[in-house]
Amino acid sequence: MFSGIIETMGTIAEIEPMGPGVRLVVRSPQIAVEAKIGASVAVNGCCLTVVGCDGQDLAFDAGPETLARTNLGRREVGHQVNLERSLRIGEELGGHFVTGHIDGVGQLVERQDEEEWSTFYFSMPEPLGKQMASKGSVAVDGISLTLVEVTADRFSVALIPHTLKVTTLGPLQPGDPVNLETDVLAKYVQKQLEGREP
């Protein structure tokens, strides 16, 4: 379980083919220095298991399902990714509950920049619209954000200068893909409503 509050950005140092998947090596001394084999880390919001660490780099194995259903399959060496270690019981929850299970890949459609502030508009797979509401929460590349406007196939978020500076959203351009995870509570509510007798 994660909070959607990004600890740091890491840089993809190596992508090594391994069977049907890849070994993803991410340079992040800040996290790697304390990381342990078997720990869970959200990489662009996708929960991955640490399979190697040397104090500077973290290694993760990503299978074909992960590569196909997230934007990690489109990342290249040199690209930056958002990183967050899993929550510890008793820690402050600054964002919202994020599971690290990606629901779909969206795309930046438009960004409106006003000095150091921005409003981003993202497209999304239509089924996800039923799990989003204005003033609710969404995780975009692992970042906990508040929804502003929501339509059937797109939504907007307002971004403060800090978020643009310390996450991968700052350089994002129209057409770039992002990982999306809707609020876990919204999923349960939708499931219950769909299960009611007509």
Which tens digits make up the pLDDT trace of 146-173? Answer: 999 999 999 999 999 999 999 999 999 9
The model's pTM? 0.92
Three-state DSSP class for 109? strand
In this structure, what token pair is assigned to residue 46? Answer: 């996708």
Alpha-carbon distances of 166 from 11, 113, 152, 169, rounded to whole Å: 13, 17, 30, 8
**Mean pLDDT value of segment 45-50:** 98
- Domains, the chain: 8-85 (2.40.30.20), 104-194 (2.40.30.20)
Q: How far apart are CA 40 and CA 58, in angstroms?
A: 11
Looking at 16-145, list the stretches that DSSP marks H as alpha helix, in order from N- to C-terminal side: 29-32, 64-69
Q: To 5 degrees, how large is the angle CA 120–CA 15–CA 65?
A: 65
Buried b (16+ CB within 10 A) or exposed e, 63-102: eeebbebbbbbebeeebbbbbbbebeeeeeeebbbbebeb
**pLDDT tens-place string over residues 81-131:** 999 999 887 777 777 889 999 999 999 999 999 999 999 999 999 999 989
